[in-house]
Amino acid sequence: MPPVGELSGMAHLRTVGMGSLYVSPEGNDAWSGRLPAPNRAGTDGPLVTIAAALQRHPARLLLRGGDYPPLCIAPAAAGCRLGAYPGERPVLAGVAIAADDVRLDGIAVRGDVTVSGRGSLLYACRVGGRLTVSGRDHRVLAGVLAGGALLAGDGLTLSDCLLRGGDAGVWIGGRDCRVRHNAMRGGLFGIALAAGAGAIIEHNVITGAGIGLWLCRAWPGTRVTGNVIRRAGIGMHAAGCAAILFEDNLVEADLAYRQRGGRDNLLRNNSLSGGIACAAPGPIRPAILDGNLLRGCRGWDDRALARRNSRLAAVGAALREDDPALACGFGPLDPALAGPRLASVLPRSADDWPEEPESPTPAVRCRLRAAGQGAFTLTVENCGSVPAAGDVALRVTPAGAGALRGEEALPYALLPGESAEWSGAVAITPGCGRLLLETLPRGEGILPTAVYLVGV
């Protein structure tokens, strides 16, 4: 009778298909690799090196438990699948993926992991070092990342991961990246976004970071929604950002929101505990605070236009039934929706992971510039990677401070990279020192903008 291991291995081969190969520290590259363990005669069994197995282009490669040297997956190995043998834990010293469409399932890596190329997937992997992802359209799901993650490519997804270590849990430097349902603790930054467009940062839990969310020169189309940030020095920091949406976030920090430079960021339906610091030079509106719950918040620049917000005197105070926040449509937030999902019932394969939309969304920037004597210029620019269409209406505030000359609603239909520009003027009412000209846009991925016009 063959050994038990050989019987179970043959049964498993029938399950995964005869196109699979096995690698084991007890293997031999002269063997076929078709068996998960050496046979009784010692004439066949698994391979001993992953590189030798990849040269045979298997449909799937299963690694037995044990330690393996650093692995480089070259472009010739595109489409390869590497997984852990059921019930065992292979540990690689490091991994560099340069091929397209590579998939790692349940692999542990002691050092760093780098991913380039296009379309790879890391599922339920443990990375002891830094994860660096470039290229396009990669996904990292349900992993444990001890050294944080650098997302330097476009169209990347980091979802349902646990992160620790490094100056930033997640650093985003590409376009159309999605960082959702992750949990991270400590570090200088929880999530940092540098000059990215169309990023979606949603439903993450950030605890104990110096700055929970740090956005520097982020482009329109970026959405920060449903995140929970606790015990941070600064909850959300925006530097030189324009038309960023902050919505449905729960922030408990020494300073809930800080903005330096930039314009027209929209904070809507957030619960903010701590101070607010918002200032910008020139005749522009740096931010709009609309329908937020402000718990113990103190001070913001008077040009950060505040609408329909509810102030509570102390952190932790309960909402009253007649609270203005509820009257203006503030929706209660559920922190339980943030953080990794399915942690207790993780699917055995990424094939069973819930489908989520991954296509880019429109990212449109709308800008108003004062040209003197009531004149202005309106520019609408498609900053994203998909077409965008809509229209922009104009409004003068306060009512009666001036009258628009010309069209009051301007349509646009723009391909990526295109822009449209209109010029107009406001007849400012005599005696009016200053009025606000603002846009009321309709369309996906566009936020309102405004400029102050000064009368004679």
| pLDDT, tens only, 197-216 | 779 999 999 999 999 999 99
- Whether residue 7 is predicted with pLDDT greater than 50 in this model: the reply is no
Domain ranges across the chain: 1-64, 66-337, 364-454
Could you tell me if 395 and 433 are in contact, meaning their C-beta atoms sit under 8 angstroms apart? Answer: no
Q: Which residues are CB-neighbours of 208 under 8 A, at least 6 positions away?
A: 185, 186, 230, 231, 232
Read off the pLDDT of residues 134-190 as tens digits, 9 standing for 90 and up: 999 999 999 999 999 999 999 999 999 999 766 779 999 988 899 999 999 988 899
Q: Which helix (H) or strand (E) holds 54?
A: helix 50-54
Mean pLDDT, the chain, rounded, equals 86
Print the SS3 string covering 180-242. ECCEEECCCEEEEEECCCCCEEECCEEECCCEEEEEECCCCCCEEECCEEEEEEEEEEEECCE
CA distance 8 to 3: 9
Measured from the Cβ of residue 344, the count of other Cβ atoms closer than 10 Å reads 6
Q: Report helix, strand or coil for 405.
A: strand
37-76 confidence digits (pLDDT tens): 999 999 999 999 999 999 999 989 999 999 999 999 999 9
Give 270-311 pLDDT, tens digit per residue: 999 888 888 755 677 888 888 888 877 665 545 556 666 666
Cα radius of gyration (the chain): 27
With H, G, I as helix, E, B as strand and everything else as coil, classify residue 5. helix
Are the CB atoms for 423 and 376 separated by under 8 Å? yes
Q: For residue 5, what pLDDT is reported?
A: 32
DSSP character at residue 357: -
- What is the band of 8 on the pLDDT scale with cuts at 50, 70, 90? very low
CATH fold of 364-454 reads Immunoglobulin-like (2.60.40)
Q: How many CB atoms are closer than 10 A to CB 38?
A: 19
Q: Does the 66-337 domain belong in CATH 2.160.20.10?
A: yes
Model pLDDT for residues 241-275, shown as the tens digit of each residue: 988 999 999 999 999 999 988 888 999 899 998 88
Per-residue pLDDT reduced to its tens digit, 17-28: 348 999 999 999
